[in-house]
Amino acid sequence: MLSAALPDTVPRASRGVMISSAPKLRTDLIVQERQTPDGRFFVVKEPASGNFFRIREAEHFIAQQLDGETPIEVVRRRTEHQFDTTLPAATLNAFITSLKAAGLLHGDAAPTTQPAGRRWRLRGNPLYLRFKLFDPDRLFTRLGPWVRPCFTPHFLVLSAALILLAIGTATASWHGIILDFSRLYRFSTVWLVLAVSFLVVSAHEFAHGLTCKYFGGAVRELGFMLIYFQPALYCNVSDAWLFPKTSTRLWVGVAGPYFELVLWALATLLWRVTDRETWINYLALIVMATSGIKTCFNLNPLIKLDGYYLLSDYLEIPNLRARAFSHVGTLIMRLFGSARRTEEDVAPRERRIYLIYGVAALAGSLSLLGYIGYLATASGYLAPGRGSAIAVLLSACIVVMKVRRRFRRLFGRSSAAPDPDDFDDSEGTPTPGSSEPAPGGSTDGSPRRRRLAWTALTATGALLFLVPRELRIPAAVDVLPSQNADVRSAVEGIIEKVYVDEGNSVRAGDVIARLSDWDTRTELEKTKADIRDARAKLTLLEAGPNPEEVEGAKVAVSKAADQLRYAQSHLGRFRSLFAEGLVAQAEFEDKQQVATWAANDLEEAKRKLSALLSSIRPEQIEEAKAQIERLETQRRYLEEQLRLLTIVSPVTGVVATPSRQLKELPGQLIRKGDLVAKVYEMDTIAAQLVISEKDIADIRVGQGVALKVRAYPDETFQGTVTAIATSAQGSLGEPQAAGNPASADKTVLVTTEIDNHSRLLKPEMTGQAKIFCGRRRGPELFMRRLARTFKVEFWGWW
């Protein structure tokens, strides 16, 4: 918003100039009375040049007497009689001459008025450059009916509610906003940020112009400007000086920042509800970042932006900055004993305002300039390397220009001179401004209407406060399969064939892959043959010796025993005969030899019988049975190994291993325990929610959960809470150390089961969930939120 400089009075003329003829005040001048705390003033607009002047009550009385017929002396006497004071002729002549110099008398043109073809469109200085584009008055006249609903109390209430809602949303999502701002820290976004900022600023300036037009003012200048080398639009709304009500002028000043604040609120809500990857979300983020920061600067009254003009209008002091600097400069000069400049009569109220504002604005300006100088010179901060010298030079030029201007304002001019930074609106089209003000404001409603409004408001408040509402706790979601089955090989071997592909549905026991079974099957057949041989031997052992052989052996023993008895009997007789000498020694020895042979035959028969009977001992049978059991164990082991060569799915689900990996498996040697494939049980999905520890107290197992994922934003999935973690975790998911219980951003993991028979949910999907914690009344919800607003450590203060 631009506003023309408004001098306290018309330009001064030298004292003692004589006026020979009766002057006449121009009849096309626009005059508006203004009542201020310091008395009555009149604002005069010269329509040809667009210049504005503020004159006091006495000066206005004199100007009204200049009708082209009343002599100057008569005007002087009338003025003395009206105000009961003495008016020197020289003073009156000087004032009339100043009116003539300003082009306010008939037959005179404003000095600043030039032919249309010679008007300069480019004005200002390198740091504050303006380029006039066109006269927007007709455009604003056409737009007036379309924007008239924006000047109603309904729009004001709705927009204020929107801003409050956006502030609450931004406060609740502040951490996310700070993290999201990192997307703007890229060089590729500079041009987009500048373009969006330019559009927002354009809407800002249009709001100023349309508001001025709505209240009956004329807007004759819309243009482009560079403020410290940054592009922007400007709209000259100097006609706001003619509005008699201070509130109306303030509305013109506040319209721009207020509308920009509405845009910021809309951008904040859009950023909150749109997906992060959409362009609307990105543009909303840019508007949030630029408008939020710029509004704070724009409303700063120490900077010559909207905040300054609002303060100037509110205090009814035009050119506040220049006057304040001049006043502070005069005080400084007096402090050092200088009296080169004298102040005009200034009311005590204005002196206090000038002193407070001048000191604050001067301190702010010098601090800012010092900070710029520090950044430019501190180790080449702004432009390291070769660019450092250029940055320092440019910054030094800016600082010198601004410091020079500050000292000129302090010590170089009187307080009546306008601020050079104020916008000289001397190039207006020579067309009078609109004299028919548009209807603004509204009358108070009837008592009945007010009662109805209060009744509706009370009923709405009662509904919001007393009617139970569902307590919903939001949380970020990570989708996990309810059962993640890793299909692994239980034996070592070479994969012969894979029977599934990615995405195939399998049931528990379905074949996934098969290993080569050549070696295992061969070993199994060999073991089976050994078992048959061992069983045959056991059969022979269990059957024992032949009965005929045993009986023959026994007969042989009996015969051998009989022969031994016979031989021993003969030997006994021959021993007696040999002792009597009846037989020869040789014959006796023969009988001895026969008895010995008979004894040996008996021993041999007994040995054979004993050997035959000893071949059926229980130890041999037990040994044979143990051998068979060992071979049977070996057989079962090999059969199990053979079965394990067929790899099957342990659960019913979907194969999740990529097809490329599955196709590369045949022919590969895998070790025992190596992963072959993954099978996810998809009929039921486990959703893991990250809940702030502030909200975990309201969550119970069995509560309902509604889930939305980014892949299917139009689908809502229902589930229940199945488990709550037993310990809190840090913001990155690691459990916090016991020695650091006060660390921030603690969360608790909550596991839920979501029905997924539609198979839409996939593992690793993300989204948002709401846990339904039961219905609560408004006071309970309010106290719950209030209790979580303040930090717990404050509880220890009492």
| 127 compared with 658, residue with greater pLDDT | 658
Distance separating alpha carbons of residues 184 and 180, to the nearest angstrom: 8
Q: Return the SS3 of 715.
A: strand
Q: What does the pLDDT read at residue 627?
A: 87
pLDDT greater than 60 at residue 741 = no
Q: How far is CA 655 from CA 71, 507, 643, in A?
A: 109, 10, 22
Answer yes or no: CATH 2.40.30.170 is held by domain 470-477+684-797: yes
Q: What is the mean pLDDT of residues 357-368?
A: 76
Q: What is the DSSP string of 84-137?
A: TS---HHHHHHHHHHHHHTT-BTT---TT---GGG--SEEEETTEEEEEEE--H
pLDDT greater than 90 at residue 443 = no
- Pick the range with the lowest mean pLDDT from 310-314, 427-431, 485-489, 498-502: 427-431
> How does the average pLDDT of the chain come out, rounded?
75
Distance separating alpha carbons of residues 249 and 36, to the nearest angstrom: 14
pTM: 0.50
At residue 720 the predicted structure's pLDDT band, cuts being 50, 70 and 90, is: very high
- Pick the range with the lowest mean pLDDT from 464-473, 514-523, 525-534: 464-473
Condensed to tens digits (0 to 9), the pLDDT of residues 619-651 reads 777 888 888 888 899 888 888 888 888 888 888
Residues of the chain with CATH 3.90.930: 1-113
The DSSP 8-state label assigned to residue 430 in this structure reads S
At residue 772 the predicted structure's pLDDT band, cuts being 50, 70 and 90, is: very high
Q: What is the mean pLDDT of residues 177-186?
A: 82
Q: What does the pLDDT read at residue 55?
A: 80
At residue 1 the predicted structure's pLDDT band, cuts being 50, 70 and 90, is: low
Q: What does the pLDDT read at residue 567?
A: 80
Distance separating alpha carbons of residues 756 and 654, to the nearest angstrom: 13
Structure tokens at 595: 């008895």
Q: What does the pLDDT read at residue 162?
A: 92
Nearest to 92 by CA among 63, 52, 55, 133: 63
Distance separating alpha carbons of residues 504 and 41, to the nearest angstrom: 88
pLDDT greater than 90 at residue 571 = no
CB 670 within 8 A of CB 462: no
Q: In this structure, what are the phi and psi dihedrals at residue 533, rounded to the nearest 5 degrees?
A: -65, -45
pLDDT greater than 60 at residue 245 = yes
% of the chain surpassing 70 pLDDT: 75
Q: What does the pLDDT read at residue 403?
A: 53
Residues of the chain with CATH 1.10.287.470: 554-611
pLDDT greater than 80 at residue 735 = no
At residue 482 the predicted structure's pLDDT band, cuts being 50, 70 and 90, is: low
Q: Which residues pair with 480 in a beta bridge?
A: 686
Q: What does the pLDDT read at residue 440?
A: 37
Q: Is 441 exposed, middle or buried (0-12, 13-18, 19+ CB in 10 A)?
A: exposed
Greatest C-alpha distance within the chain: 217
| 392 compared with 15, residue with greater pLDDT | 392
The DSSP 8-state label assigned to residue 479 in this structure reads E
pLDDT greater than 80 at residue 380 = no
Q: What does the pLDDT read at residue 144?
A: 85
Q: Could you name the CATH architecture of 1-113?
A: Alpha-Beta Complex (3.90)
Q: What is the mean pLDDT of residues 557-568?
A: 81
Residues 457-462: contacts with CB under 8 Å, at least 24 apart: none
**Residue 638 CB partners (closer than 8 Å, separation 6+):** 520, 523, 524, 527
| 340 compared with 284, residue with greater pLDDT | 284
pLDDT greater than 80 at residue 734 = no
- Can you say whether the dihedral through the CA atoms of 779, 781, 782, 788 is positive or negative? positive
Distance separating alpha carbons of residues 621 and 507, to the nearest angstrom: 49
Q: In this structure, what are the phi and psi dihedrals at residue 15, rounded to the nearest 5 degrees?
A: -70, 150
- Pick the range with the lowest mean pLDDT from 2-6, 80-84, 379-383: 379-383
CB 715 within 8 A of CB 668: no
| 470 compared with 615, residue with greater pLDDT | 470
- Sheet with 221-227: list strands edge to edge: 122-125, 128-134, 221-227, 230-236
- Pick the range with the lowest mean pLDDT from 91-100, 120-129, 463-472: 120-129
Q: What is the mean pLDDT of residues 138-143?
A: 87
Angle between helices 348-377 and 320-335 (to 10 degrees): 90
At residue 114 the predicted structure's pLDDT band, cuts being 50, 70 and 90, is: very low
Condensed to tens digits (0 to 9), the pLDDT of residues 124-140 reads 666 667 788 888 888 88
CATH superfamily for 554-611 is: Helix hairpin bin (1.10.287.470)
Q: What is the mean pLDDT of residues 709-732?
A: 84
